[in-house]
Amino acid sequence: MARILVTGGTGALGSALVNQLRTTHHHIRLFSRKSSPTTIDAEWAQGDVLSGDGLAEALNGISIVANCVGDARNAYETDVLGVKRLAEASVKAGVQHFFHISIAGIDLIDSEFYKYKVSAEAAVINSGVAYSILRVTQFHSLLDFALSLMKTTPDGYVLPVAHDAQFQLIDTRDVAAYMLPLLTQAPTGRLPDLGGPEILRVEEITRTYLAARGIMNSVLVDGPQVFFGPVAVNGFQQGLNLVPNNRYGKITWADFVHEKYGKH
């Protein structure tokens, strides 16, 4: 039985991973800035990678760290400095395997946020901790959030991402299932990048999303590229974020939106 710390354990991927770990005999400890809820069937450690508060205590006795920390709104402080602090503290604590989640295409798309993700990987590598790094494509939940920001105008639905941008969306539950056996294996450095089961353009993604909400035959128009930024969107249009040779997962985008919005 391994003792596993899940950082970002209340986030989209972290919570899915915790649910997977609950099916095993491993000891689970969640690390979060939030205080512990009144009912939880896992050990809770409160702290912050930004300040380092609570890190030593959270890592005490831990053999494996599953690092799911990330904050696009505060990327440099969280994804670079915070991850560096976490990795270095893991070395001091004697962690045997630091499993770091990253994003596919970050070294090909010249956006500021992706540069921070590259720097986060470098921080893990340079810390001296024994590590595995898994880059994955965008989550279903991310595009679901982006599309929730769509505005309607007399011309149609204004897309927050260009209609011809491409995504190989993957469900956090599938990522967690993929991670589960890898956590307790020996660290292997950079793992093969992982993508979802299908490659779709934003136009297709949006029509499926709207249909699940009972909206058919809608007119879609491109809007300002402010959600991801024009540099990242240009990379998505070129398919630099895709992993066509390593498709994984059973949950499609249609499955995700039908499950969430309840229409078929």
pTM for the full model?
Answer: 0.94
Strand-by-strand arrangement of the 156-159 sheet: 151-153, 156-159, 220-222
Q: Which domain does 245 fall in, by range? A: 3-261
**Is pLDDT of 263 > 70?**
no
The confidence score (pLDDT) of residue 40 equals 67
List the single range of 27-41, 75-89, 100-114 with lowest mean pLDDT. 27-41
Q: What is the DSSP letter of 192?
A: P
Query: Which CATH number goes with the domain that contains 51?
Result: 3.40.50.720
Q: Which helix (H) or strand (E) holds 144?
A: helix 140-148
User: Could you tell me whether strands 156-159 and 151-153 are parallel, antiparallel, or unpaired per DSSP bridges?
Assistant: antiparallel
**Distance (Å, whole) CA 46 – CA 192:** 32
Query: How many domains, the chain?
Result: 1
**Predicted confidence (pLDDT) per residue in 45-103, tens digit:** 988 898 999 999 999 999 999 999 888 888 898 989 999 999 999 999 999 999 999 99
**Predicted confidence (pLDDT) per residue in 185-236, tens digit:** 999 999 999 999 999 999 999 999 999 999 998 999 999 999 999 999 999 9
List the single range of 6-10, 62-66, 157-161, 188-192 with lowest mean pLDDT. 6-10
**Is pLDDT of 239 > 70?**
yes
pLDDT band for 39, please (50, 70, 90 cuts): low
**Distance (Å, whole) CA 224 – CA 110:** 19
